[in-house]
Structure 1
């Protein structure tokens, strides 16, 4: 099992645990925040920086 898969499984487990500890709307805000933070960071990049990030991820996939 890859490291990324373990992280995803752990995140899902933590998400379910927060459902039992906090009200559902707090859990929804936490999950949205975790998704929105990297997305907002990516959208704040210049087009040339986004191109460099995409090229870097493609390079990782190929090699």
Structure 2
């Protein structure tokens, strides 16, 4: 299984779990937006700089 497929399966599992939980809609949206933001903020400055220099087409390779 490729890395892209693993990320897609993981995102799908998180989505299904969030749908199943009796949480308010605003909290679900906050969670979906907050996870990638937290991941970006967890990078060190050098990694963030390198990520900003990459185009979207190159990220998926």
TM-score, reference length from structure 1? 0.51
- The alpha carbon displacement at 1:41 in A equals 4.3
Q: Which runs of 5+ in 1 are unaligned?
A: none
Larger relative CO (CA 8 A, sep 6+): 1 or 2?
Answer: 2
CA distance in 1, matches of 2:41, 2:10: 23
TM-score, reference length from structure 2? 0.52
RMSD over equivalenced CA pairs, Å: 3.0
Is 1:40 the counterpart of 2:33 in the alignment? Answer: no
The count of aligned residue pairs is: 52
Q: Which runs of 5+ in 2 are unaligned?
A: none
